[in-house]
Structures are given as structure tokens and as C-alpha cells.
């Protein structure tokens, strides 16, 4: 999997996770379209879980210079919208408790990026070094194989999905499907392991960029009147993708989710196809007929 920059600090509570640095809120790995003052309020609360964040502090930080009436209306609107997205209630709070006349506090169990699995931890015989990717169906870490000394990528299900049997079954099928493919243009799966009830895939660590990142960076470096890639480079990428897909099709495996974020271009211009989590196996059934067997759950939904 790709080696990229470090993920911002993540704070988790219930099925939610908040990036403190970017203000991005996710539920079960799916990004929620919430921004502005509601996220700013939540960020202040998660930084001090269980402790009071006063109305005075909120006004000073988020509504400086506002009159009391404007501040009161703005704060109420922000908290109500935040509760709406969290599925929370003022009368029976699970996450945000109102301290009448004083302010709010975050209640419930809160975990940080180094709780459980995370950088600095050792799982099986792998030392996790840093988080390098996060999406709806997986969290990817760069790790050191303590037996062989090599660097690998570990892909875990998000913690909130670890008890979801559909997600677990999809995750295992992704590993089994991808591990049956041995081709230079397909990301290599080494093995599937489990740690504290959480399954994870061990795969090769790639250095470079996804095709989407390549397109963006190339476009920024060129004028709008010029092609993003020269013809030879573009054809080389296309041929390598087709070679990898042909190898999969020969084993009756269809990717079903080919897109720029699932195509990786290494620093040596080797193209790798990522994530066969949406694959279908097409198997022969009785009487020589072919039946399409869907081995995936519903496709990832990420806004």
C-alpha cells in the first residue's frame, strides 16, 4: 500500500472519529458533511473529554466580539446541528451533556490514536510505525516486520466495524481474493492475521503516488492547454493496468472498482492495482453454467 504523509491525530468516540487537525468527522468510516462552528465546538469538547467547556470560552474562541443575543443563538444552533449529526439528544445525552448555565462537556468513552492498535504498538510480530491511510473499509499502517526486518503495510478494519459481521466477511474475502493473485501489477498480499479479535492484512509497502495524486500534481505543473501526461507515459500506465486486470480475469476475479485512487504508480513507474475488496468471483456451477457469485458487501459509500 502507498506510503504517504502522517494522518492527523484522530479522536474516537462511539462510531465516530474526529481529526483534530483537519476537523473532519466520520461515522463508521464515512465522512460526514459537517463543518464550521459545530465542528469547532466538537473539537474543543474532544480535547477535554469529561471536562466542562464553558460558555465564556466558547464565546471567546468562536464568537469573539458578538453580542450576547447573537452568541446565544449561534451557540444553540451549532450544538443542535452537532447533536443532529451525532444522533444525540439534549434530554438523554450520549455524547454532549449540557451543564445548565455553564456550558457543555463530552461524555462517554473516548480513545486516542495510540489506544489499542496504533503507532508504537506491536501486533503479532509487526511494529506499527505510523498511520498512512484511512478510508471507509480500512485503516492502513506502515509497520516493520520484526522477523524479516522489512517494511510492510498492515490494513485493519476500523474498530467500530470490528463487530460488524458483514464488514468482517467482506474484509476476509478481500484478503483471500487478492492473495490468490501473483502479478507485478497487483499489490502483493503476504498474509492475513488477527490481533485482539481484529483481522488485518499484511501487504507490500509501496512508495509513490496514486494515479489520482499523479494527475493532480502533473496538472498543477503544466498549463491547461497541455496534456497531463505525455502519450508514451499514458500508454505505459494503461498497458500495465490491463496486464494486471487480465491476470485477475484469468482467475475469474473482477475488480469492480477501478478508479484513479485504486491505481498506484511507484517511484519506478511500476503500476499496481489496489483493493480487490469489491471483487466478484465468477465460478462454474453445475451443468457447465456460469453464475455470478457476489463475494462483497455493499460498496463503500464515502461523501
Query: If the chain, 303 residues long, is cut into consecutive pieces of 10 residues, what is the mean pLDDT of each piece?
Result: 51 83 82 91 90 93 89 94 93 92 88 63 89 75 93 81 68 78 92 78 92 81 64 93 95 86 92 73 31 35 33
- Residue 100 counted as domain residue: yes
Statement to judge: residues 228 and 198 lie in one domain: no
What integer pLDDT is reported at residue 134 of this predicted model? 72
Which entry of 72, 145, 257, 300 is annotated as an active-site residue?
257
Statement to judge: residues 224 and 260 lie in one domain: yes
What integer pLDDT is reported at residue 205 of this predicted model? 95
Q: Which domain holds residue 195?
A: 122-204
Task: Locate 73 and state its grid cell.
Answer: 443563538
Assess whether 232 carries a catalytic annotation.
no
What integer pLDDT is reported at residue 218 of this predicted model? 75
Q: What are the CB-based long-range contacts (under 8 Å, 24+) for 193-199?
A: 193/123, 193/124, 195/117, 195/123, 195/124, 196/116, 196/117, 197/162, 198/117, 198/156, 198/157, 198/159, 198/162, 199/156, 199/157, 199/168, 199/171, 199/172, 199/175
- Residue 171 counted as domain residue: yes
CA dihedral 257, 301, 160, 204 (to 10 degrees): 20
Query: Which domain-ending residue is among 83, 111, 139?
Result: 111
- Residue 183 counted as domain residue: yes
Rounded-to-integer distance, Cα 221 and Cα 180, Å: 39
Instruction: Please give the model's pTM, rounded to 2 decimal places.
Output: 0.55
- How many residues are given for the chain? 303
- Residue 5 counted as domain residue: no
Instruction: State the CATH number of the domain containing residue 131.
Output: 3.30.200.20
What integer pLDDT is reported at residue 160 of this predicted model? 56
Statement to judge: residues 57 and 21 lie in one domain: yes
Statement to judge: residues 154 and 105 lie in one domain: no
What integer pLDDT is reported at residue 31 of this predicted model? 85
What integer pLDDT is reported at residue 198 of this predicted model? 73
Rounded-to-integer distance, Cα 179 and Cα 219, Å: 34
Statement to judge: residues 198 and 227 lie in one domain: no
What integer pLDDT is reported at residue 112 of this predicted model? 59
What integer pLDDT is reported at residue 283 of this predicted model? 32
- Residue 194 counted as domain residue: yes
What integer pLDDT is reported at residue 214 of this predicted model? 87
Rounded-to-integer distance, Cα 45 and Cα 104, Å: 8
Statement to judge: residues 134 and 107 lie in one domain: no
- Residue 54 counted as domain residue: yes
- Residue 4 counted as domain residue: no
- Residue 154 counted as domain residue: yes
Q: Give the three-state DSSP class for 95.
A: coil
Query: Which domain-ending residue is among 147, 178, 204?
Result: 204
Q: Give the three-state DSSP class for 127.
A: strand
The count of domains in the chain is 3
Query: Which domain-ending residue is among 82, 111, 140?
Result: 111
Amino acid at each position: 500500500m502507498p506510503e504517504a504523509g502522517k494522518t492527523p491525530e484522530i479522536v474516537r468516540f462511539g462510531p465516530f472519529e474526529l481529526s483534530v487537525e483537519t476537523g473532519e468527522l466520520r461515522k463508521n468510516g464515512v465522512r460526514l458533511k459537517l463543518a464550521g462552528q459545530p465542528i469547532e465546538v466538537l473539537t474543543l469538547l474532544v480535547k477535554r473529554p469529561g471536562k466542562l467547556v464553558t460558555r465564556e470560552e466558547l464565546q471567546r474562541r468562536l464568537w469573539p466580539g458578538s453580542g450576547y443575543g447573537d452568541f446565544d443563538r449561534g451557540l444553540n444552533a451549532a450544538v443542535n446541528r452537532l447533536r443532529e449529526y451525532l444522533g444525540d439528544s439534549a434530554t438523554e445525552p450520549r455524547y454532549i451533556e449540557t451543564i445548565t448555565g455553564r456550558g457543555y462537556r463530552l461524555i462517554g468513552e473516548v480513545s486516542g490514536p495510540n489506544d489499542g492498535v496504533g503507532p508504537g504498538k506491536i501486533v503479532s510480530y509487526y511494529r506499527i510505525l505510523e498511520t498512512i491511510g484511512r478510508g471507509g473499509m480500512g485503516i492502513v499502517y506502515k509497520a516493520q516486520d520484526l522477523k524479516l526486518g522489512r517494511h510492510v503495510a498492515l490494513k485493519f478494519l476500523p474498530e467500530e466495524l470490528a463487530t460488524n459481521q458483514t464488514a468482517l466477511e467482506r474484509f476476509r474475502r478481500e484478503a483471500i481474493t487478492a492473495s490468490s493473485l501473483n502479478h507485478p501489477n497487483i499489490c502483493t498480499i503476504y498474509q492475513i492475521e488477527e490481533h485482539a479479535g481484529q483481522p488485518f492484512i499484511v501487504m507490500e509497502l509501496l512508495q509513490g503516488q496514486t494515479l489520482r495524486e499523479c494527475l493532480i500534481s502533473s496538472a498543477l505543473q503544466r498549463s491547461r492547454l497541455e496534456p497531463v501526461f505525455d502519450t508514451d507515459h499514458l500508454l505505459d500506465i494503461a498497458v500495465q493496468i490491463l496486464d494486471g486486470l487480465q491476470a485477475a480475469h484469468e482467475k475469474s476475479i473482477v475488480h469492480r472498482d477501478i478508479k484513479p485512487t485504486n491505481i498506484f504508480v511507484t517511484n519506478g513507474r511500476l503500476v499496481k492495482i489496489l483493493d480487490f475488496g469489491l471483487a466478484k468471483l465468477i465460478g462454474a456451477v453445475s451443468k457447465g453454467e456460469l453464475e455470478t457469485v457476489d463475494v462483497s458487501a455493499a460498496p463503500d459509500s464515502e461523501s
